[in-house]
Amino acid sequence: MSTTTETTESRSRGKAPAGEKLADWADGRLGIYSLAKANMRKIFPDHWSFMLGEICLYSFLIIILTGVYLTLFFHPSMNEVEYHGSYVPLQGQLMSEAFNSTMHISFDVRGGLLIRQIHHWAALIFLAGMFVHMMRVFFTGAFRKPREVNWLFGFLLFVLGMFTGFTGYSLPDDLLSGTGVRFMEGAILSVPIVGTYLSFFLFGGEFPGGDFVARFYSIHVLLLPGIMLGLVVGHLILVFVHKHTQYAGPGKTNNNVVGMPLFPVYTAKAGGFFFLVFGVIAAIAAIASINPIWSMGPYRPDQVSTGAQPDWYMGFSEGLIRVMPGWEINFWGHTLVLGVFIPLVIFPLVLVAIAVYPFIEAWVTGDRREHHILDRPRNAPTRTAFGVAWITWYMVLLVGGGNDLWATHFHLSINSITWFVRVAFFVAPVLAFIVTKRICLGLQRRDKDKVLHGRESGIIKRLPHGEFIEVHEPLSQDALHTLTAHEQYKPAEIGPTVDENGVERKVKGSEKLRAKLSEAYFGEESQIAKPTVEEYKEITSGHGHH
Amino acid sequence: MSSQDIPEENLPAEQDAHGAVGVADDKDPFADPGLPPHEHRVQDIDERAAKRSERTVAMLFTLSMLATIGFIAAYVGVPHDKAIFVFPIGHINALNFSLGLTLGVALFAIGAGAVHWARTLMSDVEMVDERHPIEAPPEVREKVFDDWKQGAKESAIGRRKLIRNTMLGALTLVPLAGVVLLRDLGPLPGTKLRHTMWRKGLQLVNMNTNEPLRPEDVAVGSLTFAKPEGLEEHDEEFQTEIAKAALMIVRIQPDNIKDKRELEWSHDGIVAYSKICTHVGCPISLYEQQTHHVLCPCHQSTFDLSDGARVIFGPAGHALPQLRIGVNEEGYLEALGDFEEPVGPAFWERG
Amino acid sequence: MKKLSARRRHPLAALVVLLLALAATGGLYAAFAPADKAQADETAQSLTIEEGKKLYAVGCASCHGTGAQGTTDGPSLVGVGSAAVDFQVGTGRMPAQQPGAQIPRKKVIYTQAEIDQLAAYISSLGAGPVVPTKNQYSPEGADIAKGGELFRTNCAQCHNFTGKGGALTHGKFAPSLEGVDPKHIYEAMQTGPQNMPSFPDTTLSEQNKKDIIAYLDAVNGDDTESPGGLELGGLGPVSEGLFAWVFGLGGLIAIAVWLAARTAKAKKS
């Protein structure tokens, strides 16, 4: 850049109004204009399901804001003190400072209870939002290239969110959460060889000791949220880089994105949505109690209440541990606590099962192109069936985790529910898979009928020779396009096993597996060939009276 | 993992192979007709409707301001311990309710106003952005690879293997310093999990009355919890000790005790079992006095107290440890030793 | 309920109860009975027992046997005491309608006077825990916080933190303690009905019981404050999770649908 242009530029900038001057100042140091040029009018497609991620983002922000407030009053200490606050049924009781300060926040800090309840409700909604967001991405195939890494970021956020939630839930040192921590200690003890060491290092000695609240505190407020914040930023940057996916429709292709600009429409909508989410959660915190630690009392390792459950996102692990038979093997002076250790191993596997799916699908299809148009779940029957099977699995475990409440509220035997869950753990996902696939294929057939024969209008017409027919209205071109825009893969074949020289090549096991999977995904049993132009023309020309 | 070995023709045709934006013709009735033309909203053509929207948005923002003032008023005016009855919620704290609702309205109204503004007054003409492949064009790829090779060559890392190897060695070792520092997170387990506070001669103290128990205090069908004599709630180590030493005491007609050792270790049908579940350590104490079953409220392990506390249901792997008890000269129940096996959850060294 | 307690407070009824208490237990409880009342009319007492016996023969004997010695369908009632009768019949559990995992609480079909007569008859068969006096179970003068600690040690494992109830094995359950007459709570602790273990005065003193009742009255009474708002059943994280999903996430999704929906278009002219 030459000196002359620079001086003219600075001169022209010098005359600008104050706002522009400030922007110029910032641009000269931060280069904000290039950023703004690329992003200010960035297009976001409008769909309610694209707001699920924002629910998570905003509840995360709300959790951070309220969490910072709570740290101003919370004492992460397990020193025993006597309670002298304003809640009568606990006065004079011995409790840890952690519990005491949580009582103080709840009863003696004005608005403290509200902030505590917002924090906890937002945490439950954060995790629920991530779950639904993840399922939306899964069922629409939004995890496909180029978004696999972002899928993993999101998955990690979900897992870290679970553990941040668990450590936070344990901080008040109340009887319910203490029971959860005890369970965690028992689970750690079950780890072969190093279990006792891990437990002693985590708790600073024997359970409960005097350290875990302080340790969980730094994990809960610093370590895990720090990592999560980094992941959230990365997740958002990738959303900007990739541009948002969109559903098929007229004018929407794999090479464009149709919607509203970031400024002003999405600034207002997304910015407004933050306030809406915060407002709803604040209202919930005003009308519904959450984690009333004063009812539960301070933790004592020799006390317990029935209905001891973790927050919902840990419920499936609770289910795993409840339905596992009590296997224990003793050998050479050692104990292998399979009854606890197997659930501990399956716990991450349940989550990993869904996390690795995108990579399995990519391997089966062998598709290396970018995908920006979302699938309708019915058009990917195997994927959809897998997803529903996974949710079923998760739900069965959730039922197991709340088996005592199912028993009391539906007048069932707790033993029968446990047995039901033991069987359903294996059977229910398979059934869900089969049923979902059938439903998807049925819906595909219906789409095909709609394209070829039009929409059932509900008008019955009598033909001159007395026959009654229902008039089918042909679809608009928009609808025809939308219903036929999806891709259909052909099953991959192993290919010639003999090369051009007549030499037999060895077919690898992985190739065979892939061919089999591909047949299962895209074979005749697994998708309905979408209508072709020829079929359409033949039928429409046959019905000349349309 | 690569797709090279899948023949190209197996991949579906590119999405837009239908043909570019265009009208449906005889060739392709499914062609993309392109973005539908923009239709105006009422607010776009009717200024009165637009004015109404403006007023609604302004009203929402004003509502928010009022709610914030209400929030401050509630903070100042409502006593923090005042209870009110709100139908159908019940008796609740007035301050929490008023602060939460005013804050909720103050926030919600801002959001609702902004969204209503965006939906009714900002342009709703759909716009199109082109996408560009995420991966870089081949020239860029070449350039990066060349730069990388050049840099690697200049650093001579490939040629001077000694530097490379020692550097890798140093980088591998240095984190060990951090790992070593974790050693003092806690003491080594040793045999701590094998022992509790119980020893021969310690009296069984009733948790409720803090008095030592006599055999005649314990009726058939009753349930009592006990701790070792000398352990007081104010003690520094109370939590850690009670986590292992808590006892559950029941009395069963000696004829109904099926396990021989249980009968031997009992006193006249009074049996003392560890209250800590052998599954993951919940205090197990849901005693059904008719069946003598005891259920864990956390994971539903069920033990039969009339049969050596063996597991009859659920995820626990072994029976509850029994404490051998007797009566001392003053007529109080006392322990005749520590538990013979570790209490609580099983662990690798348990054996 | 009110009618019943009104009758229960009838001067004559109180007298009868006191007499029975004396007759049944002697020693330990003698201190509570003023000496002059001990000389009450013996005929009135035997009349009550007589009436109770008649009621017993009609309503109870088919399961518990004609002499209350017990059959395969019902346990022996000798020595269960008047407190057990007052609890079982006074909460409607007895007479049982049908066999099952557990006999549930239901509509009370006897008047308090009839229950007292039954109780008199049963306690005449053998000594057992006696119906407590109002003074014993009223929450006044009790230490609520101590009661809370006792409740968490002895009761919460089955009945939940604040007495909302919980599940036991094979369809049995610990019932909710909401709205249960303090007298019945006291009697349940004394007698250990069905599968509930008993907590006799020797291990859970009278004052302890009073503390527990006072605690329950404070945390699970009609006027108990739930500072945070809706109690959601007081069941802990399961109902909270359900609420967060349905009203929290559900509400937010409804808002998202509104936010992303197309604004109504002007009608085509």
**Which residue in chain C has the smallest CA separation from B204?**
C203
A266-296 confidence digits (pLDDT tens): 999 999 999 999 999 999 999 999 999 999 9
User: B3 in contact with A at a CB cutoff of 8 Å?
Assistant: yes
**Chain C residues near residue B206 by CB distance under 8 angstroms:** 203
**Chain C residues near residue A402 by CB distance under 8 angstroms:** 238
User: A51 in contact with C at a CB cutoff of 8 Å?
Assistant: yes
- Chain A, residues 60-99, CB within 8 A of chain B, namely 80, 86, 94
User: Any idea which fold B193-335 has?
Assistant: Rieske Iron-sulfur Protein (2.102.10)
B286-304 confidence digits (pLDDT tens): 999 999 999 999 999 999 9
- Domain annotation covers residue C250: no
Is A140 in the same domain as A71?
Answer: yes
Final residue in a domain of this structure, among C81, C103, C131? C131
Is C149 in the same domain as C55?
Answer: no
Predicted pLDDT of residue A5: 46
**Chain B residues near residue A199 by CB distance under 8 angstroms:** 189, 347
Predicted pLDDT of residue C46: 82
- Chain B, residues 201-260, CB within 8 A of chain C, namely 206-209, 213, 216-219, 221-225, 250
- Chain A, residues 431-470, CB within 8 A of chain C, namely none
B43-70 confidence digits (pLDDT tens): 999 999 999 999 999 999 999 999 999 9
Is C141 in the same domain as C126?
Answer: no
Please answer whether residues A87 and A103 qualify as being in contact, where contact means their C-beta atoms are separated by less than 8 angstroms.
Answer: yes
Is C125 in the same domain as C1?
Answer: yes
Min Cα distance C51 → chain B (Å) is: 31
User: C234 in contact with A at a CB cutoff of 8 Å?
Assistant: yes
ipTM for this prediction: 0.91
Say what percent of chain B tops pLDDT 90. 82
Residues 6+ apart with CB under 8 A from A38: none
Domain residue spans of chain B: 42-120, 193-335
Distance CA A486, CA A373 (A): 9
User: A189 in contact with B at a CB cutoff of 8 Å?
Assistant: yes
Residues of A241-253 as b/e, b for ≥16 C-beta within 10 angstroms?
ebbbbbbbbbbbb
- Domain annotation covers residue C38: yes
CB contact under 8 A, C263 and B41: yes
Residue carrying the six token digits 């148009």:
A373
CB contact under 8 A, A289 and C169: no
User: C227 in contact with A at a CB cutoff of 8 Å?
Assistant: yes
Is A76 in the same domain as A220?
Answer: yes
Is C16 in the same domain as C99?
Answer: yes
- Domain annotation covers residue A406: no
Mark out the alpha helices in A377-508 (DSSP H runs): 381-401, 403-409, 414-453, 477-484
A138-176 confidence digits (pLDDT tens): 999 999 999 999 999 999 999 999 999 999 999 999 999
**Chain A residues near residue C252 by CB distance under 8 angstroms:** 55, 125, 129, 276-277, 280
Is C109 in the same domain as C15?
Answer: yes
Is C23 in the same domain as C116?
Answer: yes
Predicted pLDDT of residue C38: 47
User: A388 in contact with C at a CB cutoff of 8 Å?
Assistant: no
CATH number (domain holding residue A218): 1.20.810.10
pLDDT of C31 > 70? The answer is: no
Query: Which residues form the domain of A481?
Result: 440-514+526-542
CB contact under 8 A, B282 and A308: yes
B311-344 confidence digits (pLDDT tens): 999 999 999 999 999 999 999 999 999 999 999 9
- Domain annotation covers residue A426: no
Query: Which residues form the domain of C218?
Result: 135-238
Is A59 in the same domain as A21?
Answer: no
- Chain C, residues 141-180, CB within 8 A of chain A, namely 143-149, 152-153, 156-162, 164-171, 173-174
- Domain annotation covers residue A72: yes
User: B346 in contact with A at a CB cutoff of 8 Å?
Assistant: yes
Min Cα distance C53 → chain A (Å) is: 36
- Domain annotation covers residue C256: no
Please answer whether residues B305 and B252 qualify as being in contact, where contact means their C-beta atoms are separated by less than 8 angstroms.
Answer: yes
Number of domains making up chain C: 2
- Domain annotation covers residue C257: no
Is A16 in the same domain as A139?
Answer: no
- Domain annotation covers residue C259: no
pLDDT of B151 > 80? The answer is: yes
Strand segments, DSSP code E, in chain B are 83-86, 90-93, 127-130, 204-206, 223-228, 247-251, 270-274, 286-288, 293-295, 302-304, 310-313, 322-323, 325-327, 333-335
Q: What is the pTM of this model?
A: 0.90
Is C89 in the same domain as C183?
Answer: no
Size of interface A-B (CB pairs under 8 A): 393
Distance CA C67, CA A293 (A): 51
pLDDT of B241 > 90? The answer is: yes
CB contact under 8 A, C205 and B40: no
- Domain annotation covers residue C18: yes
CB contact under 8 A, C160 and A305: yes
A191-246 confidence digits (pLDDT tens): 999 999 999 999 999 999 999 999 999 999 999 999 999 999 999 999 999 999 99
**Chain C residues near residue B303 by CB distance under 8 angstroms:** none
User: What are the residue ranges in chain A where pLDDT is below 50?
Assistant: 1-5, 7, 544-546
- Chain C, residues 81-120, CB within 8 A of chain A, namely 101
CATH number (domain holding residue C151): 1.10.760.10
Predicted pLDDT of residue C233: 86
Number of alpha carbons in the 13 Å side-chain half-sphere of residue A378: 16
- Domain annotation covers residue A44: no
- Chain A, residues 304-323, CB within 8 A of chain C, namely 304-313, 315
Please give the full DSSP string across B289-310, using - where no structure is assigned: TTTTEEE-TTT--EEETTTTTE
pLDDT of C25 > 70? The answer is: no
Is A60 in the same domain as A20?
Answer: no
B56-111 confidence digits (pLDDT tens): 999 999 999 999 999 999 999 999 999 999 988 999 999 999 999 999 999 999 99
Is A165 in the same domain as A88?
Answer: yes
Q: What are phi and psi of C241, to 5 degrees?
A: -60, -45
- Domain annotation covers residue A341: no
Number of domains making up chain A: 3
Q: Which of B182, B234, B316 sits opposite A326 (nearest CB)?
A: B316
